[in-house]
Structure 1
Amino acid sequence: MTEQLAGVEAAAGLAVHRAAGVDPGATRDALLAAGVPGRLAAQDPTLWGPAAEATARQRLGWLDTHRRSRELLPQLAELTAELADLDHVVLAGMGGSSLAAEVIARTTGRPLTVLDTTDPGQVRAALTGRLDRTVLVVASKSGTTVETDSHLRAAWQAFLDGGATEAEAARHVVVVTDPGSPLEATAAELGVLAILADPDVGGRYSALTAYGLVPAALIGAEVPALLDEAEAFAGSLAGDRDNPALALGAALAAAAGAGRDRIALVSDGSGLDGLGDWVEQLLAESTGKGGRGLLPVVVESPDSPGATGDGVLTVTYGGSLAPGVVPGGGVAPDLAVNGPLGAQFLAWEYATAVAAVTLGVDPFDQPDVAAAKENTARILTEGAPAEEPAFVEGAVEVYAPVGGPPDLTGALRWLLDGVPDDGYLAVTAYLDRCADAQAARLRPLLARATPAPVTFGWGPRYLHSTGQYHKGGPAVGSYLQVTGAVTDDLPVPGRPYTFAQLQAAQAAGDRQALAGRGRPLLRLHLTDRAAGLAQLLALAGRTLT
């Protein structure tokens, strides 16, 4: 291998450190022998095999979408000027339709309210108090996303209830969708501006399309700078040398081949807040299928449990630092990816597609996502099957397998002890991401109590992210689902269900999808959310560790 891989491989301000320590050369050499860099840069749809070719042919536009996105700049400038008085930007979108914009907002320090939930409390909070200053961006590639449809209905009704005419309400809504989607037709019916996104880019690869850029522009982020960063970096993608994205992809694939398929994503503290959440979806949904895949574990800080361990590849990320500096922020990374955000988006997309070549999976489909959606639709129509808790302890109802431990500590210990040596624990919380934010503390607390990787996801947000891996990846996951009582529900206008009913149906549909695949599952229902969370956190912090 070349000397450049001994330490740092860089291009256009983005550097990948230590790739050679993970992939001494065999994986990258195989990729070069197959001509992968040039073929991928040329958008060759045959890279992932005949079964993936038809999908890939329609999903490789992300490689140069940053160039086509420049056509949006005049429209975005006009839009931001026209809506300058609307300084509360709410983004209603799931998965790839919101994650990139959230990273941009967090990295630039600009406020953005993200609605990627069906929790009635969180929806109500986003649509209460400053409607006269609110612009709602409704983003959905398919135009049929149930959560986004519900958000639009609730917001539209809120504008009208606040005294706005339909024409006035229309000024407060911007739709982002693919050409020809049902949402485009809805926008026309409501008189709402629709900005059409690049149709040749899949949702999780859409950071530099209208899905990421429209909300970014409305919050005042420097959209041209993001495109410039990607444009400068794109020149490295066809090369055999000086191609950091190739080094990253080869290292990810080599690590998986050596049994290190758990990717700890750790911010090094030098910028790019929240990038791990975006990478999490990209890796999990692109590779987690056919019983294989890369499991991303977003770790809170370099000293949090789970940043290192057996079978774990520790990857730190951050903004531009001085040449020769290997960032880590307190942890010694196996890999460090450091550089500007626009280049990071493109580098990770490219690396994921490269890793998928070696893993033998189609990085552009999501074959196991539909199961939970179908279960949800059926439950909303037919009702959920009756469930009785195994026992109640304090503010927590425990739904556990028959014959399990009769106390909460024992039930959690049963779940943790049952994770196989090559397995992981996924905590999913169908709660309010803002009001119930303390739930995220369960991840590090439980991670201290088990050597297994522990992930955390908010439901239903995670269904559009790591949900594909949980259903289609290696069958070694165990699951802790946390739900909560709703004291103040919110109707979904024009639908025969409320947000609480939709949320409960999604949680139940998720449980059914996991149970149908034989996954171990423990459900904890908080009859009082604040009290129940305090009880769980205290237990996890004392008894289990």
Structure 2
Amino acid sequence: MAEPQGELNINVSITDERLAGEAAPLVDELVADNVASKMTAQDPTLWGEAARSEAAIRLSWTTLAESSRPLLAEIDALRAELRGEGVDRVVLAGMGGSSLAPEVITRTADVPLVVLDTTDPAQVADALAGDLSRTVLVVSSKSGSTVETDSHRRIFAKAFEANGVDAASRMVVVTDPGSPLEKLATEAGYRKVFTADPHVGGRYSALTAFGLVPAGLAGADITGLLDDAAAAGELLSADSPDNPALRLAAALAVRHSTGAEKVVFADTGSGIKGFPDWVEQLIAESTGKEGTGLLPVATEGPEAVGFADAKDDATTVAIGPAVAGARIATEGPLGGLMLLWEYATAVAGRMLGINPFDQPDVEAAKKAARALLDDPEAGKSGAPALTDGTVEVYGNVPEGTSTLAAALKAFFGELPDFGYVAVQVYLDRLDDASAALLRPEIARITGAQTTFGWGPRFLHSTGQYHKGGHQNGIFLQVTGANEQDLEVPDRPYTLGVLQKAQALGDGQVLLEHGRPVLRLHLTDRAAGLARVVEALSEVGK
């Protein structure tokens, strides 16, 4: 096992001696090229000429541990103001990098934050059912035009006013300077507008206003978060073979070169809650392009360790102490680990020969969804290929297939060698949380690496990899009937219609990429999920 990195607050252990030996020459090359120090100095040439213009405006994340300090007093002052008015319930409307970091920060700190990164009407209705007299809504969008976040803002504004609450006084905005949202918030007199550093991409924005504002308002120790990142930053900037980010990136690159492009994350007692969900976006959206990349697989915990090596197409990474079966382990406080993985991901992009700061395939699904919203007829599903109880099956089902189990078996039969299954669930991730059990069951049945994503939030995360990364995935979509729906004020669609358009639009783009897609629509959510589990057990016999 590799020796810990002295008394520093982060550590990378490469427990596979052969892997450590193969990675060492790559680390030496990175050190000789001064990659770490150049990255901290925001040198945009590190990823080649084609990436230079994008990299030139995306590297400020390397110094956020210091440059974000002035925010702390502003956030503390606003929190004190709100608490003085009896406003102590924080709801965050944001997608991708605008919600994943605040969620892991607040969960780890054990402070309450209601996160809205969904278009499911029931989940949004649950958030609306809270005490609005005590609620502040943080509207967080880098572009200022994210359709889900704008819908949440409109819905909450109407609800505030209907409950006798001045909506503008309960709206806090986090956005890039000059965005449409900044203009709207200023003109409407919203309570506070925080503008983030525009030279930081969404998935690298954990230590900007996007991560700090909602987490700080909720009561997390964001000063400590920056302190931990600052302590780690000294080592991560060093051109040294002991730099854990260089060692981590080199090990992942070695494994990728052998066909192990999947990275399985298992928490082994880190004390950090939800870290794999945050790092999933960082890695998938940064590296999954040009037919290559690293596919993160977030699992349920240490019980998943060992499965990853069954086909030797993946590398298990422990978040926390090293355990048997994990080739790599990363340990440290949250702020340090976030910066570690940001550095390592950017370095891995250089080693894979791609630009880690763009996301060329994310927009495709958004365009497809918008097209379906603009043409309601195009958004109609047509007749299902078959119906099994409360489950309608849509997709390319072999002729004569009459049961859900048979359809699933045929679908899994399309899995290529060393491929993966992506389970994409457009349901309520609170009330329908049991859907997450589909991931380990499908992994057991197929023997393949299996990812799980709540729609539409994964569209802002692994959605890039699905279209731009290794084209060896098959995609199981799960949608459900809505017992209630919510109007989006001043928009010609409801949340339910938007949710369906996002599922169908993404499925359409995946089909255009030649990937198998099977959609299961639950006409009754609880009964439908039970039927899917039952059918999977039949397939697995």
TM > 0.5? yes
In 2, distance between residues paired with 1:212 and 1:302? 27
8 Å Cα contact 2:426/2:456 also seen in 1: yes
Letter matched to residue 311 of structure 1: D
8 Å Cα contact 1:245/1:347 also seen in 2: yes
In 2, distance between residues paired with 1:15 and 1:172? 42
In 1, distance between residues paired with 2:450 and 2:442? 7
Q: Aligned residue for 1:322?
A: none
Deviation, 1:75, is 0.5
In 2, distance between residues paired with 1:62 and 1:258? 31
Letter matched to residue 160 of structure 2: F
Q: Aligned residue for 2:228?
A: 229
In 1, distance between residues paired with 2:5 and 2:411? 42
1:533 partnered with 2:535: no
Of the candidates 486, 490, 496, which is equivalent to residue 494 of structure 1? 490
Q: Aligned residue for 1:75?
A: 74
8 Å Cα contact 2:405/2:538 also seen in 1: no
User: Which deviations, in whole Å up to 9, do the C-alpha atoms of 1:427-475 show, x marking residues without a partner?
Assistant: 0001111111111110001110012100000000000000000011111
Q: Aligned residue for 2:242?
A: 242
Q: Aligned residue for 1:323?
A: none
In 1, distance between residues paired with 2:156 and 2:27? 50
Aligned-partner SS, 1:525: strand
Q: Aligned residue for 1:115?
A: 116
Deviation, 1:11, is 6.3
8 Å Cα contact 1:65/1:198 also seen in 2: no
Letter matched to residue 110 of structure 1: V
Aligned-partner SS, 2:431: coil
In 1, distance between residues paired with 2:262 and 2:82? 44
User: How do 1:426-505 residues align onto structure 2 when only pairs under 5 Å count?
Assistant: 426-505=422-501
In 1, distance between residues paired with 2:188 and 2:530? 44
Letter matched to residue 312 of structure 1: A
> Where does the alignment leave 5 or more consecutive residues of structure 2 unmatched?
none
Of the candidates 514, 518, 528, which is equivalent to residue 514 of structure 2? 518
In 2, distance between residues paired with 1:523 and 1:459? 13
In 2, distance between residues paired with 1:35 and 1:51? 20
Letter matched to residue 396 of structure 1: V
User: How do 1:285-434 residues align onto structure 2 when only pairs under 5 Å count?
Assistant: 285-304=285-304, 306-309=307-310, 310-318=312-320, 326-328=321-323, 331-383=324-376, 384-404=379-399, 405-434=401-430
8 Å Cα contact 1:19/1:248 also seen in 2: no
In 1, distance between residues paired with 2:325 and 2:5? 18
In 1, distance between residues paired with 2:5 and 2:16? 10
Q: 1:228 to 1:111 in 2, by over 3 A?
A: same
Q: Aligned residue for 1:58?
A: 57
Q: 1:444 to 1:10 in 2, by over 3 A?
A: farther
User: Which deviations, in whole Å up to 9, do the C-alpha atoms of 1:346-383 show, x marking residues without a partner?
Assistant: 00000000101110110000000011100111110112
Q: Aligned residue for 2:175?
A: 177
1:12 partnered with 2:14: no
8 Å Cα contact 1:259/1:311 also seen in 2: yes
In 2, distance between residues paired with 1:86 and 1:19? 48
> Which sits farther off after the overlay, 530-539 or 150-159?
530-539
Aligned-partner SS, 2:44: coil
Q: Aligned residue for 1:217?
A: 216
In 2, distance between residues paired with 1:296 and 1:19? 19
Deviation, 1:542, is 4.9
| TM-score, normalising length: structure 2 | 0.95
| TM-score, normalising length: structure 1 | 0.95
Aligned-partner SS, 1:64: helix
1:283 partnered with 2:278: no
8 Å Cα contact 2:15/2:326 also seen in 1: no
8 Å Cα contact 1:10/1:243 also seen in 2: no
CA RMSD of aligned residues (A): 1.5
> Where does the alignment leave 5 or more consecutive residues of structure 1 unmatched?
319-325
Letter matched to residue 285 of structure 1: E
In 2, distance between residues paired with 1:35 and 1:232? 20
8 Å Cα contact 1:177/1:197 also seen in 2: yes
